[in-house]
Amino acid sequence: MLDRFEVEGGKPLKGAVTCSGSKNAALPLMAAALMAEGVTTLENVPDLADIHTMAMVLRFIGADVKLEGGTLTIDASNCRSSEAPYELVRKMRASFYVLGPLLYRFGRARVSLPGGCALGPRPVDLHIKGVKKLGCDIQIDAGYVVAKAERLRGARVLFDISSVGATGNVIMAALAADGVTVIDNAACEPEIVELAQMLVAMGAEIRGIGANRLEVAGPARLKPVRWKVIPDRIVAGTYLTAGVITGGSVTVNACRPDHLTMLLDKLDEAGAHVAIAGNSVTVSVEADKRLKAVDVTTAVYPGFPTDLQAPWTALMALADGTSIITDTIYPERFSHVPELSRLGAKIQKELNSIHIEGVPRLTGASVMCSDIRAGAGLVLATIAAQGRSDVLRVYHMDRGYERLEQNLTSLGAKLNRVRE
């Protein structure tokens, strides 16, 4: 359905919301559940389109998957297929996470090359090179990655570029290999730490968790576990930025402030007041105070997240002064820029950077989402803009934000979903 949001902007957001579980952590954990026969239970799982897509992939492989009230059960006892088909994988890149678990479980895999958001080329070369190092034979056949390994062996895997997905896949495949696999320039994101920690709870031996050099000992015999998914740092960051862009005061409960350090530092630098109390963060802005323009360059964790680049762009569109935002992760991730211009933002794009001249106010208009995070930036801009806006194609938002309109409405936003 091509739902849209009707937004009447210009009202400060005030109040508190509870952070949902992390989508980007839950997806690889779901794939990892294939590695243990029996029932794995994941708690604090968000009810999102991407979660349901991964559930369909696991069911195709043969798992019994049920999501109820934030608790996801995956019974991988009767998995028989080693294929992840195009019609499912094309919907979401994270489906490619099943490559490593299928190699672990069956010694073979046939996984479609992925689809997902339109963020420019995001090849799976690093995944393929990584598992090849372990002794896996890889062929590309009619749009599928066909992987076979009679016997995997531990090896040194050096990533040219730090990749969350490739790190996760190599960790999981390496648990079937004889000996120790060393992964250098491994991703350090909280979602990879979460995956590694759950695998350890399942019986894996992984050293260096949280660092960019990991040692994975194999072969490992894994057992099912019960695991609680970490809070979603991107969701938390989006709501905090929503509070600041509207000149309000918003608290996000049940989050991980230690996963938000770079964003919170930048909000403080821009002039917002940031207060941390346990697992809660409150941001506020003095009445009628304009934020200061602050430059941002996205980077791998613990740098500024590329997934918060669009919300930050919306915020800087209203800041006092000129700012530069550079995206080193996805250089083409600026589809929100022409849409923000429709609201009155003054933004110029140059290569993988944008130059923003802050304006005193934005004015409502019709805008269109092209991916999850661009949509988040547009929603934030429209709730801050004066007057009426329509945000089109919000199905993108349903992939990454649970109960978005309900949460924003509870904070005082005038936002209504129109089903068409």
Mean pLDDT over all residues of the chain? 95
**Dihedral pair phi/psi, residue 359, rounded to 5°:** -115, 155
* Co-location of 163 and 269 in the same domain: no
In this structure, are 179 and 248 located in the same domain?
no
Q: Which of 308, 339, 368 is nearest to 5 (CA)?
A: 368
In this prediction, residue 94 has a pLDDT band, given cuts at 50, 70 and 90, of confident
Distance separating alpha carbons of residues 187 and 208, to the nearest angstrom = 11
CA distance 406 to 111: 37
Please give, one letter per residue, the 3-state secondary structure of 73-99.
Answer: EEECCCCCCCEECHHHHCCCHHHHHHH
Write down the pLDDT at residue 12.
97
Q: Quickly count helices (H) and strands (E) in the chain.
A: 13, 24
pLDDT band at 123 (very low <50, low <70, confident <90, very high): low
**Phi, psi of 222, rounded to the nearest 5 degrees:** -100, 150
At residue 285, what is the residue type?
A: V
Write out pLDDT tens, residues 218-271: 999 999 999 999 999 999 999 999 999 999 999 999 999 999 999 999 999 999
CA separation for the pair 283, 272 (Å, rounded): 7
Domain residue limits at 201: 23-220
In a domain, 225, yes or no: no
Question: Do 47 and 12 belong to one domain?
Answer: no
Write the CB contacts of 36 (distance below 8 Å, at least 6 apart in sequence).
76, 202, 222, 223, 224, 225
Q: 152 with 241, same domain?
A: no
- Give domain status of residue 407, yes or no: yes
pLDDT at 116 over 60: no
pLDDT of amino acid 120: 44
Q: What secondary structure letter does DSSP report for 94? A: G
Which tokens belong to 132? 């090849």
364 and 283 co-located in one domain? yes
Tokens of 15: 């109040």
Final residue before a domain boundary, out of 189, 220, 251: 220
Residue 324 scores a pLDDT above 70: yes
The model's pTM is: 0.95
Q: pLDDT tens digits, residue range 8-67? A: 999 999 999 999 999 999 999 999 999 999 999 999 999 999 999 999 999 999 999 999
136 counts as catalytic: no
Looking at the structure, do residues 168 and 188 belong to the same domain, yes or no? yes
- 209 plus 245 within the same structural domain: no
Q: Judge whether 93 and 122 are in contact, CB under 8 Å.
A: yes
pLDDT, tens digit, for every residue of 289-312?
Answer: 899 999 999 999 999 999 999 999
Classify residue 51: in a domain, yes or no: yes
Which of residues 220, 251, 284 is at a domain's end?
220
Using alpha carbons only, what angle is made at residue 375 by residues 47 and 243, rounded to the nearest 5 degrees? 85
Structure tokens at 251: 């608290």
- Does the residue 37 lie in any domain? yes
Q: Look at residue 29 in the predicted model and tell me its pLDDT.
A: 98
Percent of the chain with pLDDT over 70: 98
Q: Find where tokens 């930025």 sit.
A: 241
- How far, CA to CA in Å, does 131 sit from each of 166, 220, 224, 349, 356? 9, 17, 24, 37, 42
In 10 A of CB 419, how many CB atoms? 7
Averaged pLDDT, 149-170:
95
* CATH code, 343: 3.65.10.10
Residue 226 falls inside a structural domain: no
Catalytic residue among 19, 117, 136, 188: 117
Residues 277, 324 share a domain: yes
Whether 189 and 237 share a structural domain: no
Q: Are residues 13 and 41 in the same domain?
A: no
Contact 79, 63 (CB under 8 A): yes
Q: How far apart are CA 83 and CA 81, in angstroms?
A: 6
Domain check: are 115 and 196 in the same one?
yes
In a domain, 99, yes or no: yes
Q: How many domains, the chain?
A: 2
Indicate the residue among 164, 191, 220 that finishes a domain.
220
Average pLDDT over residues 197-224: 98
pLDDT of 115 above 60: no
Residues 81, 125 share a domain: yes
